[in-house]
Amino acid sequence: MTLHGAPRIADPDGFFQLLVEAHRDLSAEESRRLDARLVLILANEVGDMAVLRAAIAAAKDAGAPVSGAGRSPSHPQAG
């Protein structure tokens, strides 16, 4: 299963602001719980186990430590 690579959120900055606002004034634990609930709600909306597996794998790969001064193959930093 391949995930969509192109951005699909019509207003990514607006979404990011909404997410930041949702976390405002929460403790670290409350923030983690909000994230967990959001993931489960969105996973239910997706519904397709193949897509969910691919998304989990992509998230794990994106968070994996890489050598080369913090550069990631999928998100190289200018430098």
Query: pLDDT at position 4, please?
Result: 82
65 pLDDT more than 90: no
Instruction: Identify which of 44, 57, 42, 71 has the alpha carbon closest to the alpha carbon of residue 1.
Output: 57
The whole-number pLDDT of residue 6 equals 85
Q: Which residue has the tokens 């019509």?
A: 10
Q: What's the one-letter identity of residue 22?
A: A
pTM: 0.71
Q: Which residues of 40-70 are buried (b: 16+ CB within 10 A; e: fewer)?
A: eeeeeeeeeeeebeebeeeeeeeeeeeeeee
pLDDT at 67 over 90: no
> Per-residue pLDDT for 68 more than 90?
no
